[in-house]
């Protein structure tokens, strides 16, 4: 009981800023007649439709409610759609899921899992296979202002947050000062830009690299990986926390059983493969899976403040103290969630 109370108290402290953001949160007036399923823009809408529509039709048949895909030009469009009640269930990366939980009333309920049981993927830095000048981070970070770099959507975990922290912040590099140009794009666009020599290097991830071998095999042959991140927690699926309990139960049951139960399991496994999730389906999860990524974002912010020459020593001290307090809260939350899981 004490552990639960502690966890709740710390969660309240950690998400104080989120409470302010949710003042404009639009509550649902009962369950929707049509479920709008938000799909983040990791690649072109055409490719995403081809991958997701068969899966969403299976979901519709299982829960007895029409399910429609909801697309936007960037991750923020899906988050805002959920915030204002236009999106009810959504696939996010961990970074965008944090925004959705804090600002849009989202709740993580399952997490992708690969066929081999792995619950994660990797961020990459890629370049053209013919580029002999870039074979490592040292080559990339010479910062002579001659290179064009492609980075992901600002709400992307693997395309933006992870490389920003591990590649740039930890090496005290400002991408805007290091490269000739820096442009934001989705994973597919960045991969194609590297393959076509439109940028010298770009961030990407292991799932998009694997998927490109099917959707764009010629382009896939033209890239090489020069950096790989530590393992990133697998992508979460979220629903609006103000959906009714019976509807949440139907949706969660569909995801947990998909590709595993019944005479359609083999066909469903193929659907999962087409989604690029690794074919293992989904496993139970909650908002606690976002804690490590919250830590990463805070560490990145701390490094940025420490390297900011425009702030006074007192300003830096105050800002860093705020971040350290949040990091301490997160440490307890992570320990608490692990203890709950163990029990």
What is the reported pLDDT for 332? 87
What is the reported pLDDT for 163? 95
| Model pTM score | 0.83
What is the reported pLDDT for 31? 96
How confident is the model over 329-339, as pLDDT tens digits?
A: 888 887 776 55
What is the reported pLDDT for 4? 42
What is the reported pLDDT for 270? 87
What is the reported pLDDT for 338? 59
Q: Of the candidates 46, 24, 55, which has an alpha carbon nearest to the alpha carbon of residue 277?
A: 55
Tell whether the model's pLDDT for residue 14 goes beyond 60: no
What is the reported pLDDT for 278? 65
What is the reported pLDDT for 26? 85
pLDDT bin (cut points 50, 70, 90) of residue 5 is: very low
What is the reported pLDDT for 2? 35
Mean pLDDT calculated for residue range 294-306 = 88
Q: Mean pLDDT: which of 52-66, 285-299, 320-334 is highest?
A: 52-66
CB neighbour class for 176 (10 Å; exposed up to 12, middle 13-18, buried from 19):
exposed
CA distances from 36 to 82, 85, 240, 282 (A): 9, 9, 11, 20
* Torsions phi, psi for 268 (to 5 deg): -70, -35
What is the reported pLDDT for 137? 95
- Dihedral sign, Cα of residue 97, residue 329, residue 229, residue 320: positive
**Three-class secondary structure of residue 72 per DSSP:** coil
What is the reported pLDDT for 10? 45
- Kindly report the average pLDDT of the chain as a whole number: 89
Helix segments in 64-179, DSSP class H: 75-83, 94-103, 137-140, 162-163, 175-178
pLDDT bin (cut points 50, 70, 90) of residue 24 is: low
What is the reported pLDDT for 123? 96
Higher-confidence position of 266 and 124:
124
Crossing angle of helices 187-195 and 206-215, in 10° steps, is 70
Q: Which residue ranges form the domains of the chain, and what is each CATH number?
A: 2-119+234-293 (3.40.190.10), 120-232 (3.40.190.10)
What is the reported pLDDT for 38? 98
pLDDT bin (cut points 50, 70, 90) of residue 130 is: very high
CB atoms within 10 A of CB 273: 17
Tell whether the model's pLDDT for residue 222 goes beyond 70: yes
Tell whether the model's pLDDT for residue 306 goes beyond 90: no
Rounded to an integer, what distance in angstroms lies between the CA atom of residue 138 and that of residue 275? 34
Tell whether the model's pLDDT for residue 148 goes beyond 70: yes
What is the reported pLDDT for 21? 47
Q: Of the candidates 220, 202, 240, 230, which has an alpha carbon nearest to the alpha carbon of residue 92?
A: 240
Q: What is the 3-state secondary structure (H, E, C) of 94-125?
A: HHHHHHHHHHCCEEEEEEEEECCCCCEECEEE
- Dihedral sign, Cα of residue 220, residue 221, residue 223, residue 228: positive
């Amino acid at each position: 009981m004490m552990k639960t109370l502690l966890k709740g108290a710390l969660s309240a402290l950690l998400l104080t800023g989120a409470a302010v953001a949710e003042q404009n949160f639009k509550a649902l007036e009962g369950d929707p007649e049509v479920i709008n399923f938000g799909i983040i823009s990791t690649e072109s809408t055409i490719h995403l439709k081809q991958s997701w529509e068969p899966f969403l039709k299976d979901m519709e048949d299982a829960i007895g409610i029409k399910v429609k895909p909801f697309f936007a030009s960037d991750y923020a469009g899906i988050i805002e759609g959920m915030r204002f009640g236009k999106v009810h269930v959504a696939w996010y990366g961990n970074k965008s899921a944090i925004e959705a939980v804090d600002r849009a009333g989202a709740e993580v309920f399952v997490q992708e899992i690969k066929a081999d049981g792995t619950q994660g993927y990797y961020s990459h830095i890629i370049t053209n296979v013919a580029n002999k000048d870039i074979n490592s981070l040292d080559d990339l970070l010479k910062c002579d202002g001659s290179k064009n770099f492609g980075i992901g959507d600002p709400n992307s975990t693997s395309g933006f947050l992870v490389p920003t922290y591990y590649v740039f912040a930890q090496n005290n590099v400002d991408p805007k000062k290091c490269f000739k140009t820096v442009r934001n794009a989705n994973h597919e666009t960045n991969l194609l830009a590297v393959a076509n020599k439109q940028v010298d290097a770009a961030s990407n991830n292991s799932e998009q690299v694997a998927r490109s071998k099917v959707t764009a095999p010629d382009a896939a042959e033209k890239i090489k990986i020069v950096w790989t991140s530590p393992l990133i927690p697998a992508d979460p699926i979220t629903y609006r926390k103000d959906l009714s309990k019976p509807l949440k139960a139907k949706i969660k049951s569909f995801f947990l059983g998909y590709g595993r139960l019944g005479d359609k399991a083999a066909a469903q496994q193929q659907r999962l493969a087409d989604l690029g999730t690794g074919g293992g389906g989904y496993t139970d999860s909650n908002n606690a899976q976002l804690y490590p990524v919250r830590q990463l974002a805070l560490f990145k912010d701390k490094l940025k403040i420490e390297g900011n020459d425009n702030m006074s020593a007192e300003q830096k001290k105050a800002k860093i103290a705020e971040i350290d307090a949040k990091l301490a809260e997160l440490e307890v939350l992570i320990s608490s969630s692990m203890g709950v899981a163990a029990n």
